[in-house]
């Protein structure tokens, strides 16, 4: 259903209510719109990944409808969706604040959850929970330990363990197979079923799940008439439909927008629809039937590249009832897939194969898959040039993430071999990060991190090492690492206080010796220390207070330290005193701005003081920061709004672009901001023109003016007039339909004609973005178009 129609229906209901009692509501039309104008209307879209979409990606559909304007742009929108859809969307819904449900940490949070779950059943079950924790710690259970970091799967496994015989599954498919079996056992007292009923129901649910996912108009929300075809009439108490409803495998979730008399149904959870769908697929050709010379042929299919099939394919690989020959056939075709489009889809096929090895660890293609994945992650040595050719960032990051989730014994051994071959310390740390994700207590990895923290002069590397310390299982090394971190802080304070190092400071790290004091890094060290050892809060508080007492620090640094101290001790008198002094008397308006944000969590006081500061500041960058903060609190704030609108008229292009971008993201004065972006297309500043064009390309589908500017920039690049790959990157983030072929062909030409390695990489990354969100036959046709 169109979101704007949904809102219009709600307004009609609101107006009708207004007419029923004029004494309270006054003039209904104005009152009905007032909540929108004040940002008081919230639209909640729960389970967006289950939404049907004509554009293929529900997030893109929502973004398009928001950009079409009207009251929808003034409503606050909250949506939820599963991670596989969000990660698959390239630069989708940029104006939203993103919040992600994090996985549990193992063993701390996982074991804490298990104890609470079994403790809530009965005191006697506590021992059962402890046995479960012991079973998870056993060698060879790395894959299942990773799976149960997900809260839903951990709940399912607790339930399985509670009902079952204390056996842990080896795969995700095994986990769902166990749960389906125990689900019937759990429901037996309420509604007993025979083995034959369960067999017939599982088979029918599988066909329903499979065909539902395959229908673009349904996916995870199933129409009543569609369900009838597979399960019969729910009014017949003996029908499979009635049984599925009584057991809870299917639930009524609403009615159809086009026909309110027709109910809509959904599985107990989308993951179970994906599991049942996997049960209904016997032949691997259902996922892939490649016709290389004609991908658009009626007999061709490429479900392997469709996001909604990803989990089902992975679960299919984990099924015990599918022959290894069948699995190996699909794995071989994934590994050997030839796309004739610069490997843009071949690499996607590799990622799917690599993700599936955790469910099918005995595949004979394991070495081929892991070796290729390591090349995609870390590059290939070009012996003729004696340099390493690196893949674009998006592909490299994806490969590293996939390696970290592979959970195969050979992954670590191959990574250690690579680790021992290379000398680059940043690349070594990247390898170590993956090893720790697979085995948090790996001694080689932890030893490298400990030594590198003391010996490196590379600030970025130290930051990465601090992150790794927080993810690792430090065990017996915890005390040694705590000592290294506390020494770093103590010596940093001494440098700050004395201004130099003493000869007796033998524990000083190479970074401090080379760079001296780094307050920002000190704060990151404090956070790491508090994470790995909660008992260190007292030390952290003391060291922060000692830093704050040193008068030579500038106001911005003091704000930074005070804010961190308040995180540890919200009522800390010293931190509050320092912040109030800065707020009242500092000559640095940016520091005063940060002091206000730290001191006043109450919106009314914060807005009042920010308004006053905005009236008095002479620094335009600070004024922009204040305006953005005010608009986040209240997007109707007149002072901030007027400032941003005035900024649209500035002659300095980047300030104008920044104002337009802020107004659009806050859904304020959108048309005026868009007009400014169109004006910026004529700017003398190349980067401003391209930034405005990219922004407009994200707002409008097939925005010809913007796309022409970028294509012209690409043409100039090919003639050697520019050296930085800004245009190529911009061209990879546009909303395209009619002009899709034009953009793909131009990027393809640049990819093959440019002599600059960096520019080619940017072109490839942009093409990769489109390939990830476009059906293979459509992309193939565009790639070979004569347009």
What pLDDT score does 711 carry? 86
Pick from 83-92, 171-180, 637-646, 767-776: least confident: 83-92
What gap in Å lies between CA 354 and CA 400, rounded to an integer? 11
What pLDDT score does 211 carry? 96
What pLDDT score does 207 carry? 98
What pLDDT score does 387 carry? 62
Q: Which residue has the tokens 């994934």?
A: 334
pLDDT: which is higher, 759 or 151: 151
Residues with Cβ within 8 Å of residue 531, at least 6 apart in sequence? 469, 470
What pLDDT score does 28 carry? 38
Give ∠ CA 675-79-66 in degrees, rounded to 5: 25
pLDDT: which is higher, 22 or 365: 365
Tell me which residue of 115, 152, 155, 156 sits closest to 133, measured CA to CA. Answer: 115
What pLDDT score does 39 carry? 61
Residue-wise pLDDT tens digits, 384-431? 545 667 888 999 999 999 999 888 889 999 999 999 988 889 999 999
Pick from 13-22, 182-191, 505-514: least confident: 13-22
What gap in Å lies between CA 403 and CA 350, rounded to an integer? 12
Residues with Cβ within 8 Å of residue 387, at least 6 apart in sequence? 381
Mean pLDDT value across residues 585-600? 94
Q: Which residue has the tokens 């009014």?
A: 235
SS3 62: helix
pLDDT: which is higher, 10 or 786: 786
Banded model confidence at residue 210, pLDDT cuts 50, 70, 90: very high
Mean pLDDT value across residues 481-496? 91
Helix 519-532 vs helix 537-548: crossing angle, to nearest 10: 160
Mean pLDDT value across residues 271-286? 96
What gap in Å lies between CA 114 and CA 111, rounded to an integer? 5
Whether 760 contacts 751, CB under 8 Å: yes
What is the enclosing helix (H) or strand (E) of 381?
strand 380-382
What gap in Å lies between CA 68 and CA 63, rounded to an integer? 9
What pLDDT score does 84 carry? 57
Residue-wise pLDDT tens digits, 753-787? 887 777 888 899 999 999 999 999 999 999 999 86
pLDDT: which is higher, 624 or 732: 624
Residue-wise pLDDT tens digits, 594-615? 999 999 877 788 999 999 999 9
What pLDDT score does 374 carry? 96
Outline where 323-391 has alpha helix (H): 324-335, 344-356, 366-378
Whether 529 contacts 544, CB under 8 Å: no
Mean pLDDT value across residues 350-377? 96
Residue-wise pLDDT tens digits, 499-519? 766 655 556 788 888 888 899
Banded model confidence at residue 160, pLDDT cuts 50, 70, 90: confident
Banded model confidence at residue 522, pLDDT cuts 50, 70, 90: very high
| Mean pLDDT taken over the chain | 85
Mean pLDDT value across residues 338-365? 96
Banded model confidence at residue 538, pLDDT cuts 50, 70, 90: very high
Cis before 107? omega within 30: yes
Residue-wise pLDDT tens digits, 672-693? 899 999 999 888 888 888 888 8
What gap in Å lies between CA 248 and CA 95, rounded to an integer? 37
For the chain, give the percent of residues with pLDDT over 90.
49
**Signed CA dihedral, 67, 72, 76, 79: sign only:** negative
Tell me which residue of 526, 523, 496, 528 sits closest to 512, measured CA to CA. Answer: 496
First to last CA, the chain: 35
Banded model confidence at residue 335, pLDDT cuts 50, 70, 90: very high
Where do the domains of the chain lie? 3-88, 108-186, 195-279, 681-787
What pLDDT score does 239 carry? 94
Residue-wise pLDDT tens digits, 69-86? 566 666 778 888 766 556
What pLDDT score does 767 carry? 95
């Amino acid at each position: 259903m169109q979101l704007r129609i949904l809102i219009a229906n709600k307004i009609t209901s609101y107006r009708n209510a207004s007419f029923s009692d004029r004494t309270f509501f006054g003039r209904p039309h104005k009152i009905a719109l007032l909540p929108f104008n004040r940002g008081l209307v919230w639209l909640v879209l729960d389970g967006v990944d289950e939404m049907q979409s004509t554009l293929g990606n529900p997030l893109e559909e929502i973004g398009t409808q928001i950009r079409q304007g009207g009251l929808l742009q003034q409503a606050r929108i909250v949506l939820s969706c599963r991670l596989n859809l969000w990660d698959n969307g390239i630069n989708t819904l940029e104006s939203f604040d993103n919040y992600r449900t994090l996985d549990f940490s193992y063993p701390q949070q996982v074991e804490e959850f298990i104890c609470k779950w079994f403790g809530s059943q009965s005191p006697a079950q506590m021992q059962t929970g402890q046995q479960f924790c012991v079973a998870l710690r056993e060698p060879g259970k790395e894959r299942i330990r990773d799976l149960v970091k997900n809260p839903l799967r951990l709940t399912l496994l607790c339930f399985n363990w509670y009902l079952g015989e204390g056996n842990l599954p080896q795969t995700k498919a095994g986990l769902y197979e166990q749960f389906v079996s125990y689900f019937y056992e759990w429901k037996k007292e309420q509604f007993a079923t025979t083995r034959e009923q369960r067999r017939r129901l599982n088979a029918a649910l599988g066909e329903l799940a499979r065909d539902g996912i395959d229908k673009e108009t349904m996916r995870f929300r199933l129409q009543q008439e569609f369900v009838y075809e597979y399960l019969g009439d729910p009014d017949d108490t003996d029908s499979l439909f009635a049984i599925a409803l009584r057991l809870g495998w299917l639930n009524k979730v609403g009615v159809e927008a086009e026909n309110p008399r027709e109910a809509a149904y959904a599985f107990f959870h989308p993951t179970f629809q994906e599991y049942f769908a996997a049960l209904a697929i016997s032949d691997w050709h259902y996922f892939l039937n490649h016709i290389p010379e004609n991908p658009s042929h009626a007999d061709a299919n490429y479900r392997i590249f469709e996001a909604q099939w990803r989990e089902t394919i992975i679960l299919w690989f984990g099924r015990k009832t599918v022959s290894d020959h069948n699995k190996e056939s699909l794995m071989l075709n994934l590994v050997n897939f030839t796309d004739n489009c610069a490997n843009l889809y071949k690499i996607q096929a590799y990622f799917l194969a690599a993700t599936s090895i955790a469910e099918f660890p005995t595949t004979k293609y394991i070495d081929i898959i892991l070796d290729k994945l390591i090349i995609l992650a870390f590059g290939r040595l070009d012996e003729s040039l004696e340099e390493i050719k690196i893949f674009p960032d998006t592909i490299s990051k994806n490969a590293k993430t996939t390696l970290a989730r592979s959970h195969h014994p050979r992954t670590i051994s191959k990574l250690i071999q690579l680790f021992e071959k290379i000398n680059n310390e940043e690349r070594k740390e990247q390898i170590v990060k993956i090893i720790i994700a697979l085995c948090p207590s790996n001694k080689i990895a932890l030893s490298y991190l400990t030594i590198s923290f003391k010996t490196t002069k590379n600030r970025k590397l130290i930051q990465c090492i601090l992150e790794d310390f927080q993810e690792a299982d430090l065990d017996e090394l915890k005390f040694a690492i705590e000592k290294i971190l506390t020494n770093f802080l103590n010596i940093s304070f001494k440098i700050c206080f004395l201004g130099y190092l003493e000869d007796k400071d033998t524990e000083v790290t190479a970074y401090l010796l080379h760079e001296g004091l780094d307050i920002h890094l000190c704060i990151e060290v404090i956070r790491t220390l508090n994470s790995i050892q909660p008992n260190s809060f007292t030390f952290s508080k003391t060291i922060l207070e000692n830093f704050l007492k040193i008068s030579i620090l500038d106001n911005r640094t003091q704000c930074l330290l005070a804010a961190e101290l308040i995180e540890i001790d919200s009522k800390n008198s010293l931190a509050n005193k320092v912040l109030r002094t800065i707020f009242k008397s500092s000559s640095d308006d940016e520091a005063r701005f940060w002091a206000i944000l730290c001191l006043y969590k109450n919106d009314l006081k914060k807005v009042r003081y920010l308004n006053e500061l905005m009236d008095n500041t002479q620094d335009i960058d600070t004024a922009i920061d204040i305006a953005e903060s005010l608009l986040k609190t209240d997007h109707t704030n007149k002072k901030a709004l007027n400032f941003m609108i005035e900024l649209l008229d500035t002659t300095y292009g980047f300030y104008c672009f920044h104002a337009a971008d802020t107004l659009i993201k806050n859904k304020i004065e959108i048309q005026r901001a868009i007009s400014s972006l169109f004006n910026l297309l004529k700017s003398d500043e190349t980067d401003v023109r391209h930034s405005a064009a990219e922004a407009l390309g994200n707002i409008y589908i097939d925005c010809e003016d913007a796309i022409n500017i970028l294509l012209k920039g690409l043409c100039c690049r090919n003639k050697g007039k520019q050296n930085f790959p800004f245009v190529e990157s911009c061209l990879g983030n546009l909303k395209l339909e009619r002009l899709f072929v034009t953009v793909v062909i131009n990027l393809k030409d640049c990819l093959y004609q440019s002599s600059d390695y960096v520019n080619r990489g940017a072109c490839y990354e942009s093409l990769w973005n489109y390939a990830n969100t476009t059906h293979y036959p459509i992309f193939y046709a565009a790639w070979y178009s004569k347009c």
